């Protein structure tokens, strides 16, 4: 468990912040704040690099919870930050989790705006983003691709990659149980031959460079791209943690979200 230093505000009558530094002793003298660690004295608030304590750099972190109408299932679509800079965000609800990278935010009318994205490898079949395809009938490989053949006309909901982008569905192989799934690659093309009544889905390497051939008999699962399919986060509440690696002075004035009731 990490140790923290907490600050209390008599004006607010409450605990306001957790600080990453954890000194052996603290003292205030002539309106300066000093701490002592391993026999060394440190004077705080004297340099331009924020969140650097005793030679170790830390991140800024802000946590808040959205819990309006707690007895209703909701869909949280976006995050809006009224802040001096964009932050990265991890979000959590009773039904799942998601994230927003720092560079996903776009500044609009003085506020930072971004869609909440599903975790990249989230393959829970309770979500519409994960769709079963079929059992592998044949497998053939070539230079930079793997062709997977299925019996029948399948894969209607498999999204294909756009040239020059990593936007296609991620293909997983399942051998036995969903817990034993393994990523194969990204869907590139899809063809159906009515004469043979077979479908061939070609996969290529995804953004991480993964390209692995499944084996005959594996079940194939198709998972939507987390950037292309930004459906948001469903749940009774949303727990939001904002993190920033910025070493300058940064501020957050307000955090809001576009929320609507989720109907079964």
CB-neighbour burial class of residue 86 (10 A; exposed 0-12, middle 13-18, buried 19+): buried
Q: Per-residue pLDDT tens for 22-34? A: 999 999 999 999 9
Specify the higher pLDDT residue, 264 or 50: 50
CB-neighbour burial class of residue 109 (10 A; exposed 0-12, middle 13-18, buried 19+): exposed
Return the residue matching tokens 């809001």.
Answer: 256
CB-neighbour burial class of residue 156 (10 A; exposed 0-12, middle 13-18, buried 19+): exposed
Q: Per-residue pLDDT tens for 188-241? A: 999 999 999 999 999 999 888 999 999 999 999 988 876 655 667 888 999 999
- pLDDT higher than 60, residue 125: no
Domains of the chain, first to last: 5-57 (no CATH), 66-116+232-261 (no CATH), 130-223 (2.40.30)
pLDDT value of residue 110: 87
Return the residue matching tokens 């600080």.
Answer: 19
CA atoms of 19 and 13, how far apart (whole Å): 18
pLDDT value of residue 41: 93
Q: What's the predicted TM-score (pTM) here?
A: 0.65
Q: Per-residue pLDDT tens for 177-191? A: 766 789 999 999 999
Enter the DSSP assignment of 262.
Answer: P
């Amino acid at each position: 468990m990490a140790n923290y230093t907490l600050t209390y505000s008599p004006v607010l009558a409450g605990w306001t912040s957790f600080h990453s530094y954890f000194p052996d002793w603290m003292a205030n003298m002539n309106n300066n704040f000093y701490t002592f660690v391993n026999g060394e004295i440190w004077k705080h608030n004297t340099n331009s690099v924020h969140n650097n304590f005793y030679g170790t750099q830390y991140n800024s972190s802000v946590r808040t919870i959205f819990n309006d109408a707690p007895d209703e299932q909701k869909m949280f679509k976006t995050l809006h930050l009224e802040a001096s800079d964009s932050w990265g965000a991890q979000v959590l609800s009773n039904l799942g989790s998601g994230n927003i990278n720092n560079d996903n935010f776009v500044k609009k009318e003085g506020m930072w705006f971004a869609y909440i994205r599903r975790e990249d490898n989230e393959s829970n079949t309770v979500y519409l983003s994960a769709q079963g395809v079929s059992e592998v009938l044949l497998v053939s490989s070539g230079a930079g691709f793997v062709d997977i053949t299925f019996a029948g006309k399948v894969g209607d909901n498999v999204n294909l990659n756009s040239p020059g982008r990593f936007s296609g569905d991620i293909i997983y192989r399942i051998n036995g149980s969903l817990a034993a799934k393994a990523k194969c690659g990204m869907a590139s093309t899809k063809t159906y031959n009515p004469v043979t009544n077979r479908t061939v889905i070609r996969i290529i390497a995804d953004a991480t460079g993964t390209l692995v051939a499944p084996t005959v008999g594996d079940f194939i699962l198709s998972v939507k791209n987390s950037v292309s399919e930004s459906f948001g986060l469903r749940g009774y509440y949303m727990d939001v943690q904002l993190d920033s690696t910025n070493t300058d002075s940064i501020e957050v004035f307000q955090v809001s979200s576009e929320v609507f009731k989720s109907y079964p």
